[in-house]
Structure 1
Amino acid sequence: MAMSASRLIRIGTRSSPMALAQAERVRAELTALNPDLTAEIVPITTSGDRWTGPLSTLGGKGAFTKEVDEALLAGRADLAVHCMKDVPGDRPVPAGTVFAAYLPRDDIRDALIHPGGRTLDQLPAGTRVGTSAVRRIAQLAQSHPHLETVPIRGNANTRLARLDDGAADALLLAVSGLERIGQAGRITEILSAETMCPPIGAGVLGLQCREDDTDTAQLVAGMDDIDARRQVTAERMLLHVLQGHCNSPIAGHAHTEPDGRLSLRAKVFSPDGKTVLDAHEWGPGTDPTTLGASVAVALLRQGAQDLLNAIPH
C-alpha cells in the first residue's frame, strides 16, 4: 500500500499514566519518521489494571497484556506497545502477532524511594519496603533480611501516592518507569544490577503488530534497535526454557560487550531468598537464542526446576 496523507495507525496501550507516556513516545517517534502518518492512541483498561489483589490469582502477567493483544487481533488497534517485562515468558507470543521492533533499552535498574533520603543499606530493621514483585522480595530477603516487605500494587503513580499515605516506609520501583512518568526526582538511590538483579525484559518497549500486517511492520522496522532485540531474545529464551511464570523469582539481564558478544547473567531464587542459583555465560551476539537456552540449562542443572515447581502459581 502506498503511503498517503490519509494513512492512520492506531496504537493500543494499557491506560495507566506510564503506559500512555510510552505510547506517546512511540507516536512521536513514528510520526517524526513518517510525516505523512497520523497516529492515534487507543487506551485499553486491562484486568491487571482493574484488579487490586495478587497477580497470580488472575493467571499472572498476561493480566497486563491480554486485552491489548485481543484489541490488536480484532483490528481495533494496529500496533501495541508493551513493556517487555510484562509480556509472559512461559508461553509463546499470541498466534498471529509479532514483535516488529524493540526500542533502544532504557535503564534496567531498580530505584529505592525513601522520604527520609536513606539508602537501602541505611534502612533500620523493620522498615516496610513496598513491593509485590517476587523477584525483589526474594532478593531483599537474601541481602537485607532485617527489612520487611509489604505488598503494594497498582501503577507507579498509585504506589507513590500510597507511600505518601504511609502504606509503606520506602518503595522499590524501576528507574526507567519513574523517568517515563517524570518522577525520577523522587529517587533516593539507584541499585546496581548486582544488588538487585533486574527482571527479564527490563527497560525495553516492544512494538507488536499482526503477523499479516506487513505495512505496519515496515513502518516501525526503522525504530528497531538490534542490541535491544538481541538482549531481549536471549532473556526471553531463558524464561521460556525455565517455564517461568509471574510467581517465579527469576531475574536476569543480557548486555552487549564492546566486542559484540552477548553476556547473559541470570538468577533463580527461592521465595525466602535462602537459595540463590546463579549462571553467567557469553555467546556470539548473532545467536541470542542459543545463549538464552544455555544459561537456562545451567540453572536447571543447579536445580532450578525443583525450586520453581515448589512455588504455587
Structure 2
Amino acid sequence: MTDTLLTRCAETPLRIGTRTSTMARAQTDHVVTLITELLPGVSTQVVPITVGADRWPGALTDIGGKVAFSKEIDHALICAQIDLAVHCLKDIPGDVPLAEGTAFGAYLPRDDVRDVVITRDGVPLADLPAASRIGTSSVRRRAQLSIHRPDLRIERIRGNVDTRLDKLDEDGRYAALILARTSLSRLGLLDRHHEVLPAEFHPAGEGVVSMVPPVGAGVIALQARDTDLPVMQLLQHLDHPATAGHVLAERTMLRLLRGHCNSPIAGHACPTGDGRMSLYGMVFNLDGSRFVHAHACGDASDPAALGSRVAADLLQQGAGQLIAATHQ
C-alpha cells in the first residue's frame, strides 16, 4: 500500500474532497494531518466542493433531503476528480444507499455527541423567558426541545456554524441556538457561553432538558471508490473499530426504520461497563407531543443484530406511523 500510493502521489496528489464550510475544512485539515503522519512524504490536495445544501436557505426536504449534503461530492468521487471524501456522518442519509462503486473506508474515533445551548450572555435554557426564539435547523432538536420547553418559539436557522453564531450575535432575533458541541470544539469556539445538554433521555417533569443525539453524531467518515485498493487500504489504518461498530448498530436501526431527513429520529450506541454495547433509539412526531423509545444491550461483536432489535421494538411501538406522518 505504501509504495503504490507514494508512487502514485509523486505525480498526482491524493485529492481529498470536502464541503466548503469552515467546519468541513477544519475536519479535512485533521484528516490530512492523520494521513501525513501515517504516510510521511505523501502529497495531498484539498478539493473544496460546494454542495446543494450549502447553497439552499430553505428546508432540505425541498431539495431532496440529506443527499444535498453529498451529491456533488459523490459525483466528484465517481468521476475520479477526487480520491476520497470527508463527511460528517450524521449528514449522510440512512434511507439512501451510498453512491454505487463507493464505500466508507474509515470512521475516525467518535467526538462528543452532546448538543449545547448557546446564548450571548450565558443564560441557561431553563431561565429563558417564554416565547424566546431558539434557532435550530434540526427536526430532532425541535421535537425534543418541545417536550421540555413547549413555551419557547423554535425557528429554523440554516447556514454554517459560524454564520449562525453571527446571526445570534448581530441581529438579536434569537435568544439562543442549539448546536453540536463537537462543532464548537472543531472550530476552536468552546470559549463561547454554552450549556451542555445531557445525551440520555429524561422525561418531561424531571427538570432536566436532554437531547438524545442523531445517528452518526460526532463521527467523521471517509469515503472512497471501492476499487481504489491503495486508498481503501490506507483508510483501513485510520479506521476506529469501536466507532465502526457503534455506527453499524445506529445506521442499521435507522435503515430499518426507513427514516428520512424530516423524521425526528435519535439514536446513540456506546460501550457498557461489561464490554457489551448499548443502543438507545427514539422516534418523535414533529412537535414532540408523541414519541417512542427503546433501549437494548447486546454483543459488541454483532452490532447489526443490536440495531435490528432496537428498530423492531420501536416499530412495534408505532414508530412507522410517526415517521409516515412527517412526510411533507
Report the TM-score, using the length of structure 1 for normalisation.
0.98
Cα shift readout 1:133-166 (whole Å, capped 9, x = no counterpart)? 0000000111111111111001101110111122
For 2:314 and 2:217, the matched residues in 1 are separated by: 20
CA contact (8 A) 1:46 1:64 kept: yes
Cα shift readout 1:226-280 (whole Å, capped 9, x = no counterpart)? 1110011111111100011100000110001233211000100111111120100
Match of residue 275, structure 1, among 279, 290, 307 = 290
Match of residue 139, structure 2, among 118, 134, 139 = 134
Match of residue 106, structure 1, among 106, 111, 117 = 111
For 2:57 and 2:93, the matched residues in 1 are separated by: 19
Q: How does 1:59-138 map to 2 (within 5 A)?
A: 59-138=64-143
Structure 1 counterpart of 2:184: 178
Deviation at 1:186, TM superposition (A): 1.1
Q: Which runs of 5+ in 2 are unaligned?
A: 201-209
Cα shift readout 1:43-88 (whole Å, capped 9, x = no counterpart)? 0000000000111101111111111111111101101000000000
SS at match of 2:80: coil
Amino acid at match of 1:182: G
Deviation at 1:215, TM superposition (A): 0.4
Match of residue 47, structure 2, among 42, 47, 50 = 42
Structure 1 counterpart of 2:207: none
SS at match of 2:238: coil
Cα shift readout 1:79-107 (whole Å, capped 9, x = no counterpart)? 10000000000122221111100000000
Deviation at 1:10, TM superposition (A): 0.6
CA contact (8 A) 2:184 2:190 kept: yes
For 2:242 and 2:36, the matched residues in 1 are separated by: 23
Deviation at 1:311, TM superposition (A): 1.2
SS at match of 1:202: coil
CA contact (8 A) 2:17 2:73 kept: yes
For 1:199 and 1:283, the matched residues in 2 are separated by: 20
1:227 aligned onto 2:233 = no
CA contact (8 A) 1:111 1:187 kept: no
Structure 1 counterpart of 2:33: 28
Amino acid at match of 2:57: T
Which deviates further from its counterpart, 198-207 or 160-169? 160-169
For 1:127 and 1:96, the matched residues in 2 are separated by: 47
Amino acid at match of 2:262: N
SS at match of 2:106: strand
Structure 2 counterpart of 1:51: 56
CA contact (8 A) 1:263 1:281 kept: yes
For 2:312 and 2:160, the matched residues in 1 are separated by: 34
For 1:30 and 1:55, the matched residues in 2 are separated by: 33
1:297 aligned onto 2:302 = no
For 1:293 and 1:187, the matched residues in 2 are separated by: 39
Identical residues among aligned pairs (%): 49
Report the TM-score, using the length of structure 2 for normalisation.
0.93
Cα shift readout 1:165-215 (whole Å, capped 9, x = no counterpart)? 223110000000111111121142111002001011000000000010110
CA RMSD of aligned residues (A): 1.1
For 1:93 and 1:16, the matched residues in 2 are separated by: 22
CA contact (8 A) 2:120 2:193 kept: no
For 2:193 and 2:219, the matched residues in 1 are separated by: 20
Structure 2 counterpart of 1:262: 277
Amino acid at match of 1:14: R
Q: Which runs of 5+ in 1 are unaligned?
A: none
For 1:24 and 1:132, the matched residues in 2 are separated by: 26
Deviation at 1:24, TM superposition (A): 0.6
Deviation at 1:294, TM superposition (A): 1.1
CA contact (8 A) 1:267 1:278 kept: yes
1:169 aligned onto 2:184 = no
Aligned length: 313
Structure 1 counterpart of 2:206: none
Amino acid at match of 1:69: D
Structure 1 counterpart of 2:223: 208
